[in-house]
């Protein structure tokens, strides 16, 4: 082999080694990013599912090993935007992620089989299906949890409209989407409605009270910026739980001393919230 060919082969090896190293770094970075961005770090989380067949919220409780689903099968028009803040308030249930199936794509029923390995593979690899706040590690956790849920701990309730769902949850099914961890911690919560939307603060307060927070104050006061504030480090975890279902930033502040956590719905959210279902 000539010296020139040896040099060329050396450069090819260097190139291949560099390419392999870059590829490996990219894979590691993607895995790390997926791990960091995972959403389902708590014992209780709710996923919104939008399809032609039904629209509903699937709640998974890792601590009690149960799965609850509340689905709407009629009058689906109010679901206009793929927005976690709007739909959390629409349903009266804190939503932490969503899956949107395009028209014509078959949707499985919202039971434990929804998170079977085959269905997860179909959803995660079908790029026409929109997903938000669900990473690779979230899919793994959903699959593992679904295998540990007994059929007698799977409850699916059907409603005709979102209005029916919200009214029945607040009156008859108060514990349906309750987070037992939050109930045990008894975290106090204040809600400030900084918008001109009447009753918005009460709707948000009722939602998080149903979820397990101890709502101690709901007030109306013009505020520009939407955010979730916590007054002490021990409340950060619960502040993050709220922020995930509202897409708000989280900040530490002693300005709001009424409760451990304070939700401020500012005027910057007002235009978006005009699309509420009712």
pLDDT per residue over 144-190, tens digit each? 888 888 888 898 988 888 778 777 766 655 667 888 778 788 899 99
pLDDT reading at 217 higher than 90: yes
Q: Which residues pair with residue 68 across a beta bridge?
A: 59, 155
Question: What gap in Å lies between CA 257 and CA 180, rounded to an integer?
Answer: 25
Cβ(249)–Cβ(265) below 8 Å:
no
Tell the burial category of 266 from Cβ atoms under 10 Å away from its Cβ (0-12, 13-18, 19+): middle
**CA distances in angstroms from 92 to 67, 81, 107, listed in the order given:** 18, 16, 23
Helix segments in 172-216, DSSP class H = 180-185, 200-211
Exposed e or buried b per residue across 174-206, where buried means at least 16 C-beta atoms within 10 angstroms of its C-beta: eebbbbebbeebebbbbbbbbbebeebbebbbb
pLDDT per residue over 53-88, tens digit each? 888 899 888 888 889 898 888 766 555 556 788 888
């Amino acid at each position: 082999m000539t010296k020139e060919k040896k040099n060329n082969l050396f450069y090819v090896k260097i190139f291949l080694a560099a390419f392999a190293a870059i590829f490996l770094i990219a894979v590691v970075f993607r895995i790390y990013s997926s791990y960091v961005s995972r959403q389902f770090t708590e014992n209780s989380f709710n996923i919104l599912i939008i399809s032609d067949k039904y629209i509903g919220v699937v709640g998974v409780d890792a601590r009690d090993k149960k799965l609850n689903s509340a689905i709407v099968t009629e009058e689906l028009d109010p679901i206009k935007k793929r927005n976690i803040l709007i739909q959390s308030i629409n349903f009266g249930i804190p939503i932490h992620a969503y899956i949107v199936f395009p028209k014509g794509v078959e949707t499985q029923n919202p039971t434990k089989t929804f998170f079977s390995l085959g269905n997860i593979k179909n959803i995660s690899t079908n790029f026409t299906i929109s997903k938000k706040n669900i990473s690779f590690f979230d899919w793994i956790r959903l699959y593992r949890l679904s295998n540990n849920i007994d059929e007698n701990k799977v409850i699916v309730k059907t409603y005709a409209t979102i209005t029916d769902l919200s009214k029945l949850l607040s009156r008859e099914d108060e514990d349906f989407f309750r987070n037992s961890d939050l109930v045990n911690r008894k975290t106090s919560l204040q809600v400030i409605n900084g918008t001109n939307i009447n009753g918005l603060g009460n709707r948000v307060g009722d939602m998080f009270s149903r979820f397990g927070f101890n709502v101690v104050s709901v007030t109306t006061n013009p505020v520009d910026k939407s955010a979730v504030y916590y007054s002490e480090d021990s409340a950060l975890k619960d502040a993050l739980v709220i922020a995930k279902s509202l897409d708000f930033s989280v900040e530490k502040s002693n300005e709001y001393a009424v409760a451990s956590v304070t939700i401020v719905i500012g005027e910057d959210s007002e235009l978006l919230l005009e699309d509420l279902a009712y």
